[in-house]
Each structure stands twice: as C-alpha cells, then as structure tokens.
C-alpha cells in the first residue's frame, strides 16, 4: 500500500468516528489529557528499554548469543533510533506530528513483535533496528511537543506532568519484566508492552491536533526530497557500523589482529567526520550543528553523557549482581530494581516542588548527585556476599535519589540558552547523544562483566584443590547429603561437582560485579570533579 493510500485511510478515519470522539474530548480537559499523553509516549520508550536491559541475560539465552554478540542487538537499536531522529524534522514537516508519531508507533509495534519472535542474534538485531526506528524518537518527540502545544504559562505544569508519567512508568518496568519472564518467558519483555503501546497510538490519533509541525508549499521548498537523504543516511550508518565492529572486536583483535582493528576504527571515524562536516556545510542539514555551538549547551551535553552512561551501566549490572551474584530470586530482583526507580520518582517530586526554587545555583546540587552516585557504587562494591535484601536498601535509596538530582538540574541548565527557536534542534542532538551513551554503557558493561567473570572463574577453580581441608569437608558433606536423598554413587559424584561449579560461578560473578562497581564509582568521581571545577554550568 503506497503513502497516498495510507493518507487517504487516515483522513477517512479522521473525518469519521475519530472526529466524534475528538469533539467529545475537547470538552473533557483535552489539554490536561495531552500533558499525560506526551508523558506516556516518552514513557513507553523508557518502559521497553528498562525491560530489555533487565531481561538481557534471559534474552541472550533465548537467542543463543554471547555478550560480545549481544552488543550488536544493542547497537542496532541505537542506529535505528539515530536514523529516526535524523529524519524526524523532515518527516514532521511533511506529515505533521500526529501522522508522524502514529506511524512511529506502528513501526515500534512491528519491531517489538519481531523481537519477541527472534530465534537468533541476527534476527534480534534486525528487529531491534526496526524497534529503534519507531521507538527511539518517542522521548524526543514528546518533549519537543510541549513548547509546540502549550503556551509559556502552561509549560511548567506540562513538563511536571510529563516527568511524573515518564519516571512513574519507568519504575514499574523491572518488576513487570521479572513477573512476565518468570511466568511466560523472555519473549514477554516485548509482548508485554504491546497493548499499552497500541492504546497510546489511539490516544495520539484522538488528542493531537491535525497539523502541528506540518509545513506546506514554499516552507518546504528549501528541504531536499526524502529520496535525496538516502546517501547521507547510508554514510552515517556505515560510520556507526565500522565503529561498532571495532568496539565489539577490540577484546579479540587488540593483540591478534591490531591492524584490522585500527582500519575499522579509522574508517568509522573518517566516515563520521565526513558526515558531520557535510551537515555543518549543508544549507538544510539533517543534524543542525551550526545553531548549537552555545558553550552552555555543549558542556551540558557532556554531563548528560556521563549521566546516561552511569544510568545504562548500572541498569545492566545490578540485575545480574542481585540474581547471579547474591542469589536473589528473579521477582525479588525485579522489585529491588523498581525500588530504585520509585525512589527516583519520589526524588523528582521533591526536587520539582521544593528544591528547584530554593536552589538557584544548580552546580552544588549536581556535585552532590555525582557524590551520591559514587557512594552508592562504593556501597555495592564492598558488600558481603552473604547479605540479605535489607542490606541493599541504603545503597538502592542513594542510587535512586542521585538519578533525579542529576537528570533534572542538568536538563534545565543544558537548554536554558537555546530558546524556543532552537529547542527542537537541541533536543534532537541530545537524544542522539543519549542513544550513544546508553548503548556504549550497556555494551561496555556486558563485555567487561563477561571477561572479568571468565577470568575469575578460572582463577577460583584453579585454587580449589580437593585436598584442602575446607574443600574436602564440603565435598564430603555434600556427597553425604545427596546420597541420603537416594541418588546413585555416580549421580552423587556428578551432582557434587555441579554444585561446586555453581558456587564457583556465583562467587566469580559476585566479585566481577563488584569490580565493575568500582569502575562506576571512578566515573562518578570524575563527573563530580568535572562539575566542581567547571564554570560554564551554574
């Protein structure tokens, strides 16, 4: 079906039953509903991403992928999202926000269905690319629509409600993911978000005005036809692909094939530099770089990168640490993860209602937030392997509070100098950076954790000698326990070795996660010092 036929069906629906309900909603607080709807549009992206990261180890098992292979699935989502963001303004100018956003939701639904039915890492990567094309634009679109739909006097309330919904829905994702994985399997980390996403799509059709963002005639004359954008997009995708291959193969090729690694990295950097240079010189670029040279915005993006890196890195490590390092059940791990997000939600409420007006200088708040991130990482890094859930609560509360106290002040400062005219371009750039930071963080965490876990597993196994008093006694007691349960001698021997291997695996994973938390504490410390000594963001 061509674009004209789709447009005709859309218009028929708009002039038919949809028109009736749109008129009814005009008398039912349409603007109030719009504020919450924009939060839901952004929240569904956060919800799906949180479920995906939480269920990463189960998804890897479901598609039979190693962590270094799973990096490709994470990278293709980011590539799809960045392509969607680069095309966002062009598509909105031609179709308006309502058609654009509804189309993005349909693509998102198709991507989720494809992910749920993937049987290999190649299929998962392709489906994640489609998912990113649709869903990767939700957060930016929802935030950009606030100044487009609401007068300056209404924007403060709209932003608050937007943030409440985004952080509130994010808080539910890990617990929900744990429930559906345990009950129905990893596929439901994707199936589980389908009904809500479909209802949000209906809300977009019902509530969004017809032609917001749409340009006609002469206003479109300066923009290239969409077909002419294929070459720069291919250029961009190749640049990202070469860099992603270099990153994912760095561990294997650093010593074995250093020249091949260098060539991939050099090709990726050269293509990326060429793409950015073309965007800088082009009269109507996909990525507006010339308007975004403000030092406050650039420094703010740097701290945004640190914030998203910490967020993505921690989100990947904590579920594995709790479940495989400490031995907590999956559902308990999900609720602990959600507890962090609920704490963030409470901190958002406190910041917006009390702290924001009482702290005109935001730099001390951000320094304290980085310090809290450092403290929470250090608390996890020095936990005992035998702790219970209660012992984790202080570190979880500190981590949740630090997330809100980083995100909100940094966001307010970063866009403070752009104004309405450049806000959309600025948020486009910030959203692309967000995808890079989250993907890099989770991919780096996956590879570091895998490598460290293997190394520690081998080290601990080599140190275990059957003749050691403690080991000999443990083997004897375990064998006696299995024999008392009626197992044969052969099964007792195999079962004893399996239990020993499981204990070694758990201990190695626990130490590996703690090593990664130390690295996270170092990153947070760098962020704290950088914010303390810089003079651009105040």
pLDDT at 410: 94
Over residues 103-111, mean pLDDT: 95
For the chain, residues classed under CATH 1.20.1250.20 are 19-211, 288-538
pLDDT at 165: 93
**Picking from 59-63, 259-263, 320-324, which range would have the lowest pLDDT averaged per residue?**
259-263
At 391-437, the pLDDT tens digits run: 999 999 999 999 999 999 999 899 888 877 788 888 888 998 898 88
Is 282's pLDDT higher than 80? no
pLDDT at 1: 47
pLDDT band with cut points at 50, 70 and 90 for residue 465: low
Is 99's pLDDT higher than 60? yes
pLDDT at 242: 76
Is 277's pLDDT higher than 60? yes
pLDDT at 258: 72
Q: What residues contact 107, with CB distance under 8 A and at least 6 apart?
A: 130, 133, 134, 135
pLDDT band with cut points at 50, 70 and 90 for residue 281: confident
As a whole-number percent, the residues of the chain with pLDDT over 70 amount to 83
The rounded mean pLDDT for the chain is: 84
At 222-238, the pLDDT tens digits run: 566 665 677 777 878 88
At 237-273, the pLDDT tens digits run: 888 777 777 776 665 555 556 777 778 788 888 888 8
Best-predicted range by mean pLDDT among 193-207, 219-233, 287-301?
Answer: 193-207
CATH class of 288-538: mainly alpha
pLDDT band with cut points at 50, 70 and 90 for residue 2: low
Instruction: Note the Cα 234 to chain centre separation in Å.
Output: 24
Q: What is the spatial distance between Cα 210 and Cα 98, in angstroms, rounded to a whole number?
A: 6
Residue for token digits 């649709």?
134
How far is CA 201 from each of CA 134, 194, 196, rounded to the nearest angstrom? Answer: 12, 11, 9
Query: 241 or 175: whose pLDDT is higher?
Result: 175
Is 346's pLDDT higher than 90? yes
At 64-91, the pLDDT tens digits run: 988 777 888 888 998 899 899 988 988 8
DSSP, res 321: I
Q: Are 360 and 414 in contact, with CB atoms under 8 Å apart?
A: no
Q: What is the spatial distance between Cα 106 and Cα 159, in angstroms, rounded to a whole number?
A: 26
pLDDT band with cut points at 50, 70 and 90 for residue 219: low
Over residues 311-327, mean pLDDT: 93
At 481-523, the pLDDT tens digits run: 766 666 666 666 566 667 777 788 889 999 999 999 999 999 9
* Tokens read off for 241: 């692909």
At 135-162, the pLDDT tens digits run: 999 999 999 999 988 888 889 999 999 9
**CA end-to-end span of the chain:** 53
As a whole-number percent, the residues of the chain with pLDDT over 90 amount to 46
At 114-139, the pLDDT tens digits run: 999 999 999 999 999 999 999 999 99
Is 164's pLDDT higher than 70? yes
pLDDT at 538: 83
pLDDT band with cut points at 50, 70 and 90 for residue 325: very high
What is 241-293 written as a DSSP string? HHHHHHHHTHHHHHHH-HHHHHHHHHHHHHHHHHHHHHHHH-SS-SS--GGG-
pLDDT band with cut points at 50, 70 and 90 for residue 9: low
CATH number of 19-211: 1.20.1250.20
């Amino acid at each position: 079906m061509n674009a004209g036929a789709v447009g005709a069906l859309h218009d028929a629906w708009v002039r038919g039953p949809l028109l009736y309900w749109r008129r009814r909603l005009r008398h039912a607080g349409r603007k109030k509903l719009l504020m919450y709807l924009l939060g839901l549009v952004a929240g569904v992206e956060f919800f799906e991403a949180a479920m995906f990261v939480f269920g990463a180890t189960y998804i890897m098992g479901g598609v039979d992928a190693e962590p270094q292979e799973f990096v490709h699935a994470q990278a293709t989502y980011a590539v799809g999202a960045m392509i969607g963001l680069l095309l966002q303004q062009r598509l909105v100018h031609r179709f308006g926000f309502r058609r654009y956003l509804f189309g993005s939701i349909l693509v998102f639904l198709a991507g989720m269905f494809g992910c749920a039915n993937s049987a290999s890492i190649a299929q998962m990567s392709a489906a994640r690319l489609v998912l990113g094309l649709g869903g990767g634009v939700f957060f930016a679109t929802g935030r950009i629509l606030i100044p487009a739909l609401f007068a300056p006097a209404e924007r403060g309330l709209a932003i608050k409600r937007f943030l409440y919904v985004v952080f509130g829905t994010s808080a539910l994702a890990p617990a929900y993911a744990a429930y559906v994985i345990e009950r129905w399997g990893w596929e439901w980390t994707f199936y589980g978000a389908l009904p809500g996403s479909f209802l949000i799509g209906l809300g977009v059709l019902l509530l969004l005005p017809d032609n917001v963002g749409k340009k006609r005639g002469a206003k479109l004359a300066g923009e290239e036809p969409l077909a002419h954008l294929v070459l720069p997009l291919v250029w961009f995708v190749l640049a990202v692909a070469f860099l992603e291959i270099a990153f994912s193969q760095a561990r294997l090729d650093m010593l074995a094939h250093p020249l091949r690694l260098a060539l991939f990295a050099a090709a990726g950097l050269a293509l990326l530099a060429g793409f950015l240079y073309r965007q800088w010189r082009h009269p109507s670029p996909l990525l507006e770089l010339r308007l975004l040279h403000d030092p406050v915005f650039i420094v703010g993006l740097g701290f945004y990168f640190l914030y998203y890196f910490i967020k993505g890195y921690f989100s990947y490590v904590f579920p594995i640490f709790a479940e495989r390092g400490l031995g907590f059940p999956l559902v308990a791990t999900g609720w602990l993860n959600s507890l962090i997000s609920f704490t963030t939600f409470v901190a958002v409420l406190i910041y917006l209602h009390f702290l924001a007006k009482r702290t005109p200088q935001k730099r001390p708040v951000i320094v304290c937030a980085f310090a809290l991130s450092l403290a929470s990482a250090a608390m996890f890094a020095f936990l005992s392997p035998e702790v219970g859930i209660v012992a984790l609560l202080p570190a979880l509360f500190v981590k949740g509070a630090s997330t809100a106290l980083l995100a909100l002040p940094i966001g307010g400062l970063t866009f403070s100098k752009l104004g309405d005219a450049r806000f959309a371009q600025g948020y486009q750039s910030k959203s692309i950076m967000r995808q890079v930071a989250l993907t890099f963080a989770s991919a780096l965490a996956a590879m570091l954790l895998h490598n460290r876990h293997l190394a520690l597993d081998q080290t601990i196994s080599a140190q275990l000698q059957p003749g050691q008093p403690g080991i000999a006694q443990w083997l004897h007691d375990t064998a006696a326990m299995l024999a008392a349960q009626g197992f044969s001698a052969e099964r007792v021997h195999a079962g004893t070795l399996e239990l020993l291997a499981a204990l070694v695996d758990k201990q190695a994973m626990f130490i590996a996660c703690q090593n990664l938390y130390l690295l996270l504490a170092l990153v947070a410390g760098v962020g704290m010092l950088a914010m303390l000594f810089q003079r651009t963001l105040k």
